[in-house]
Amino acid sequence: MDNSLNGRKALVTGGASGIGAACARALAARGAKVVVADVDAPGAAALADELGGTAWTVDLLDVDSLAALSLDCDILVNNAGIQKVAPIEEFEPAEFRRILALMLEAPFLLIRAALPHMYANGFGRIINISSVHGLRASAYKSAYVSAKHGLEGLSKVTALEGGERGVTSNCINPGYVRTPLVEKQIADQARLHGIPEAEVLAKVMLTESAVKRLVEPAEVASLAAWMASDDAGMVTGASYTMDGGWSAR
């Protein structure tokens, strides 16, 4: 067994499903005590039970309640996210604000809440689950692409401020990952692109990727676990793609 994260406390947002659940499992498997933070209370509780961790039921859209928060985690995985696919002229302004709040403002507030403990210990790992859409754009994803590009900036600023104090901050940039978030957008993508649902994978999601398959959540999680380790101490301010070659174009 790999005990490289023994004694570390990790907090994973959106930890009840998909990439977050895979990260929680990977960090726990290496010895970390994991807090599974999610708006899905039963999902967070079930996984926390399985991992011997704890569940934190939280709606990260309630950003006002995060302003006075103080966190004692050593590893923070900013992962919770949602998607909305629509052309800009039809994109609801309220939906745009919601996506920015959950995927940019909440990560800022959680980093802000976690840094004092990390600075006091001289160790911290901020791992931001960005996306290839943090580096590249796709049509119909104005809010998501804006939030992820913003997260890239936030991550780099965190890296610069934390560098001398033992805190690293990095982004992981996956292409399409096999999770409910992707399954939910297949119908919308089919309608917007005027193609059958069965063709969305090949004609929309994997067109730019050299490796023509979805990323598995466990693959993303293994990179996150390495970023959390002592081995990755010189990795900061970076954005590690796992996009099957998409961003090589």
What are the residues binding ligand NAD (CB under 6 A)? 14, 16-20, 38-40, 43, 58-61, 79-82, 102, 129, 131, 174, 176-177, 179-182
User: Closer to ligand NAD at the Cβ: 64 or 164?
Assistant: 64
CB of 146 to ligand NAD, least distance (A): 12
In the complex with ligand NAD, which residue's Cβ is closer, 43 or 244? 43
Q: Which residues are catalytic?
A: 144
What is the three-state SS of 35-60?
A: EEEECCHHHHHHHHHHHCCEEEECCC
Q: Give the pair of three-digit tokens for residue 234.
A: 């010189």
Please answer whether residues 204 and 193 qualify as being in contact, where contact means their C-beta atoms are separated by less than 8 angstroms. Answer: yes
- Give least dist CB 129 to ligand NAD, A: 4
DSSP 126-191: EEEE--GGGTS--TT-HHHHHHHHHHHHHHHHHHHHHGGGTEEEEEEEESSBSSHHHHHHHHHHHH
Our CB check for ligand NAD shows the closer of 40 and 152 to be 40
